[in-house]
Amino acid sequence: MSDFEGLRALVTGGASGIGRATAELLAARGARVAVLDLDPSSVEKPLLGYRADVTDDTSVREAVAAAVADLGGHGVLDVLINNAGIGAQGTVEDNDDEQWHRVLDVNVVGMARVTRAALPHLRESAHAAIVNTCSIAATAGLPQRALYSASKGAVLSLTLAMAADHVREGIRVNCVNPGTVDTPWVGRLLGAAADPAAERAALEARQPTGRLVSAAEVAGAVAYLASPLSGATTGMALAVDGGMQGL
């Protein structure tokens, strides 16, 4: 199948986890794909890697410009996957102002920065689509995730607002809401737990399927929302959570 033949895509946070699986899937389906990441050293052909920090506007603008030029579409970008993000644990009492500013800067403002730099190029596409990585944390009321949930709630609202703002320009904007996904991030979280096996079992039990979601399963949902197959869908959140919210 080659849903993305001739299309050009940019994936933030594409050197690891969900972003990496997404970049690889889009490339396997025919897209030319550029990855923006803090550390793109592990990014291999056919993916193109660019070092950028989504909290630094200059680095974002330079990396987006370089990626769009190298993708070879004469300034056209078809797909933007806003995926870079970081976590935070604790109740509202546990995170100080510095942590709040940091997580919101990466997860929310970072998304706005990359989108701002990419929009002039997306406007040139006949199939423009943006997919933001949100989370079930946006709506599930998870314990011990106050700051992270607030950041993903903002991502959900941003997705809806961007969809409304750009629908008449032919740019679709959707998001995916993953449950707990088996990525290096969750590996780090489990590694820091007092009893990693028990913590993993608890995370698995939280999802009705009894297992963690795979990065490839999230990538599949992202690819659907990024492809012309979902051409009439905008302003939607697609849950990829093993039934957590639906059952």
* Residue 95 CB neighbours (<10 A): 18
User: What's the CA gap between 63 and 221, in Å, rounded?
Assistant: 26
Contact between 244 and 136 (Cβ < 8 Å): yes
Instruction: Check binding of 185 to ligand NAD (CB under 6 A).
Output: yes
Q: Which of residues 96-135 bind ligand NAD (CB under 6 A)?
A: 106, 110, 133, 135
Closest separation in Å from C-beta 19 to ligand NAD? 5
Q: Pattern 201-240, binding to ligand NAD, x per CB under 6 A?
A: ----------------------------------------
Instruction: Check binding of 49 to ligand NAD (CB under 6 A).
Output: no
Closest separation in Å from C-beta 36 to ligand NAD? 6
Q: Which one of residues 39, 70, 165, 169 is an interface residue with ligand NAD (CB under 6 A)?
A: 39
Q: Which two tokens stand for residue 186?
A: 């969750």
Residue type, 136: I
Annotation says 148 is catalytic: yes
Q: Which two tokens stand for residue 184?
A: 């290096």
Closer residue to ligand NAD in complex, CB, 143/228: 143
Burial of 10 (0-12, 13-18, 19+ CB in 10 A): buried
Instruction: Check binding of 19 to ligand NAD (CB under 6 A).
Output: yes
Q: Which one of residues 9, 34, 131, 186 is an interface residue with ligand NAD (CB under 6 A)?
A: 186
Instruction: Please list, in sequence order, all residues whose beta carbon lies within 8 angstroms of the beta carbon of residue 35, skipping any fewer than 6 positions away.
Output: 10, 11, 12, 14, 15, 19, 20, 23, 43, 47, 48, 49, 50
Q: For the chain, how big is the Rg over CA atoms in Å? A: 17
Which range in 13-21, 89-97, 123-131, 156-164 contacts ligand NAD by CB under 6 A? 13-21
Residue 115: its H or E element:
helix 110-122
Q: Pattern 50-89, binding to ligand NAD, x per CB under 6 A?
A: --xxxx---------------------------xxxx---
Q: Which two tokens stand for residue 223?
A: 């690819």
User: What's the CA gap between 129 and 80, in Å, rounded?
Assistant: 6
- What residue ranges bind ligand NAD (CB under 6 A)? 12-13, 15-19, 37-39, 52-55, 83-86, 106, 110, 133, 135, 178, 180-181, 183-186
Catalytic residue set: 148
